[in-house]
Amino acid sequence: MSYFRRVELNNRPKKFFDNANMTKQYLFTQTSTGTGTGGGGGSTSTAVGEEFIYYLEFDFETNINVSFDFVASQRDAITALGFNTDLLKISTSFAYEIIDGEITGLKIFDATAVSVSNNLSGDDDRFQTVNNSILEFKERVNNNELSISFTDRYGNSNIAQARLSLNTDKYHLNVYRFNTLYRFANDTQNVFALISANSATARDTSSSTINNGAKVYVQNRHGEFLICDMTRGELVIDTDVLLSSTTGLTGTISAGTQTNLALETVTGKGINGIISITAADTTAITSITVTSSGSDYAVGDQVKIPASAISGRTTDLEFTLRSENIARASTGKLTGFRDGIIKWSTETQYKLLFEVHAYNNEDMSDTDIIESTKPIPNDYGFKLEILPPTISNVFNGLSSFVDDYTFEDDGDYTLVDNDIQGFNISMFYEEDLGISAPTNDPAIDDIQYDIDECFLTFDRTKPHLYGFTYGNDEILSKKFWDGTETT
């Protein structure tokens, strides 16, 4: 749910060379300009073809060369500057280090060299025009006008900024990455890693770049996630729906119907389920009816009615809940927030989903927003939106736990088929992550509702450290910047 405005990533008022590790010097091989013959084969002309090299701060072998769209993206970016790539010879390869003017043969593994030369023979009447075009192209590169957006092998969007020489700021190495612990704003208590919630990105256990707008989970160094206790499925109110969920039907019992029997939770967090049972004789239970659905039940939970609560029974009546026992939550879906406490926990079934809102400084004002889907430099910062937000008239979210809460319209959410009764957290998560999509009945109108974004906060004076706010300018939500890798 990206509701923030989009601006160009290169519009970065904060000076980017603050970090000491961004000043390392590199020397690269540079092909001389104007020393060869015409670019086209078979020519007898002595006309000199212009050429130059530009560099990209991405490793050639592991990044550029394995990108499925780099070649096309580079061609499109050059064309967008007004140059005809059919008339240019463009070769992309390794960059090599030079020491004291001599090529060492040592590959620079953090860079790619792109050679641009005249693709025409010297006797072609367009040859000199292309030469002039190459000189203009070089000047445009020198003015930092060539940016190439491409996709790496993990599906991340990246921007390669072409440079005539690499007095590098190591931009691509100094961005936030998944699965990497960071200490934020130099606060030793504000330490965590962002874990990709997107299955395609999460399959890579190494750290890959976090882009603005990414859906993430938050994990600490102990492997715990930020969670909020949530309500789960209700029991289906029906006759005999629990019969197949127990093996304890036979056994001594008083004949007749016994009502208002409260289910006790053995495993899980289910509460307040009530059933009635009927025995046609004194040897077995013949019917079970759920009379109160309770809440927080999930598939696999074990519940029971103790023998002491059942007239004539000598053993507990035990159940293991199956998918058909859970109403609108066949897999134990999350239906709402139980409280407003955000804490670290190993209960991963309750882990919160966040969306990254990235900014270029700690003020995090609207004018400082980094363009959506672009990598985030780790001397910049971000806010973490807690999903789902409050959706007006559909879902209260964490606003239920805010005194004197006032709704603020931050954007829109379209509810497919206007299915208010079926809306729950799990459905939202699955839709937002692209895991599944709701069935859209063309005969039922989709309805658009207003949303109020909710953001994670950090306050070292609070017992759980992390909380939430609906204030877009709340200072406690702006605590995640200047990330420093840690252990």
Per residue in 437-484, pLDDT tens? 778 889 999 999 999 999 999 999 999 999 999 999 999 999 999 999
Return the H-helix or E-strand segment holding 414: strand 411-415
pLDDT at 157 over 80: no
Structural domain for 460, as ranges: 182-229+333-485
Same domain, 224 and 90: no
Candidates 36, 50, 56; CA nearest to 117 is 50
**For the residues 345-360, what does the mean pLDDT come to?**
93
CA distances from 25 to 10, 28, 98, 170, 426 (A): 22, 10, 12, 10, 50
In a domain, 378, yes or no: yes
Residue type at 167 in one-letter notation: N
Candidates 329, 319, 317; CA nearest to 245 is 319
DSSP per-residue codes, 341-372: EEEEES-GGGBPEEEEEEESSTT--GGGBPPT
In a domain, 125, yes or no: yes
Same domain, 206 and 307: no
Instruction: Name, in order, each residue with C-beta under 8 angstroms of 203's C-beta and a sequence gap of 6 or more.
Output: none
Candidates 422, 385, 386, 372; CA nearest to 6 is 372
Q: Which residue has the tokens 């809940």?
A: 321
Same domain, 289 and 435: no
In a domain, 8, yes or no: no
Of residues 323 and 26, more confidence is placed in 323
Per residue in 214-246, pLDDT tens? 999 999 999 999 999 888 778 888 899 899 999
pLDDT at 171: 54
Percent of the chain clearing pLDDT 90 (strictly above): 53
Same domain, 467 and 368: yes
In a domain, 9, yes or no: no
A 10 A CB-CB count for 204 gives 16
What does the angle CA 88 – CA 92 – CA 96 come to, to the nearest 5 degrees?
Answer: 125
Per residue in 166-208, pLDDT tens? 654 455 567 888 999 999 999 999 999 999 997 644 444 445 7
Per DSSP, the three-state class of 479 is coil
pLDDT at 305 over 70: yes
Q: How far apart are CA 475 and CA 383, in angstroms?
A: 10
pLDDT at 14: 34
Which of 327, 350, 384 is at the close of a domain? 327
Domain count for the chain = 3
**For the residues 380-399, what does the mean pLDDT come to?**
94
Candidates 330, 337, 321, 427; CA nearest to 386 is 337
Same domain, 320 and 346: no
Is this model's pTM higher than 0.85 or not? no
Same domain, 293 and 340: no
pLDDT at 35: 32
Same domain, 264 and 323: yes
Q: Which two tokens stand for residue 233?
A: 């499925």
Mean pLDDT in the chain?
83
pLDDT at 76 over 50: yes
In a domain, 15, yes or no: no
pLDDT at 431: 85
